[in-house]
Amino acid sequence: MDEPFFLHQHLNNFDEFCVSARNWDLDYRQLDAGNFSSELLMFGNDEIQFTHARLGRRMLQNGSSPPGLISFGILSNPDINIYWRNINITGDMLFVFPENGELHSITQADFDVFVISLPEDALNQACASLELPDIKALLNKNEVFCCYSKRLAELRSWLLSVKHETDNFTSSVRNRRYLRHIEQEVTYRLLNILAEPNKAVSMRPFRKRDLALMKAERFIVESDVSVITIPELCMVANVSERTLEYAFRERYGLTPKAYTLIHRMNNIHKYLRRADPQNTLISEIARQYGFWHMGKFSADYKKIFGELPSETLKYT
């Protein structure tokens, strides 16, 4: 087993969070206004990853889980919920990240999650010792399971104890022996839950407004046009303005106009985070994304991200 890595960070920028999340390919977009805050705890190696993450803002999360591993998620707080791959995940659900798939989700400012990533071979060996079918057969192509609340509460309590140990006992537990113990323990706990008669939660069929929203989102992401009008979105999505607005409000709590504004602001934020302060004019970048009134742009930017564009650029 490789030497384990350990990180525990409190981050106030979602791009830094994405970069710090080892082996994850993440792209976050902030959906509400205010300073971003987060906590990221990761412990593991190339064979297992123990992750605890908290985010203090409402986010659109895209990306993929660690390659070569099967990742299981459980909300740290049973009272919160997230929208995940067209399913509303609640505290009594165990969810499994798709292999090489998109983890598209919308999380609220109280997002708090544990994710355990394990190799298929280790899971199958444990399945054999428990006289269970292999992990793929247990999952049966399902991604979400509604489980007994007591079982998930026990798992959640154990995960919190592991977080406490790895965070506070430093070198005494941050080693290969301890990591092997965690891998074995969490594997058997997960398999015992999956072996129970849980109810697999099916992805709900896409409604007309869901499909319209997906078309509109894709157009916004792929468009080279700096400013997209609502009539353009309606034409692309082939729905009325009323239907499109209802779809965006239902999913994001935003109007289509507000969503496109947030999207452009996030693009600028990401650009400024990566730009060279000595060779970047904020006014030029803003105009490229359709912002012509610099005073209003700066005020709107600060309202969303809690800092001026110049502050984002300065701390790249």
pLDDT of residue 217: 94
pLDDT of residue 255: 96
The verdict on 16 and 147 lying in the same domain is yes
Averaged pLDDT, 118-122: 95
- Give the CATH number for residue 226: 1.10.10.60
Torsion angles phi and psi, residue 178, rounded to 5: -65, -40
Number of independent structural domains in the chain: 2
pLDDT in tens, 142-159: 999 999 999 999 999 999
Q: What is the mean pLDDT of the chain?
A: 92
The verdict on 229 and 87 lying in the same domain is no
pLDDT of residue 261: 93
Q: Is the dihedral of CA 167, 164, 68, 27 positive or negative?
A: negative
pLDDT of residue 225: 67
Cα separation, 117 vs 65, in Å, equals 8
Question: Which span out of 2-6, 106-110, 200-204 was modeled with the highest average pLDDT?
Answer: 106-110
The verdict on 175 and 226 lying in the same domain is no
Q: Which residue has the higher pLDDT, 114 or 104?
A: 114
The verdict on 239 and 279 lying in the same domain is yes
pLDDT in tens, 5-38: 999 999 999 999 999 999 999 999 999 999 999 9
Cα separation, 187 vs 63, in Å, equals 25
Averaged pLDDT, 42-68: 93
pLDDT surpasses 70 at 262: yes
Q: State which of 145, 174, 200 marks the end of a domain.
A: 200
Cα separation, 246 vs 235, in Å, equals 16
pLDDT of residue 128: 96
Averaged pLDDT, 256-265: 94
316 pLDDT band (50/70/90 cuts)?
low
Range of the domain at 270: 208-314
The verdict on 71 and 193 lying in the same domain is yes
pLDDT of residue 32: 93
Q: State which of 152, 178, 200 marks the end of a domain.
A: 200
1 pLDDT band (50/70/90 cuts)?
low
Q: State which of 146, 170, 200 marks the end of a domain.
A: 200
Averaged pLDDT, 185-202: 93
- Give the CATH number for residue 104: 2.60.120.10
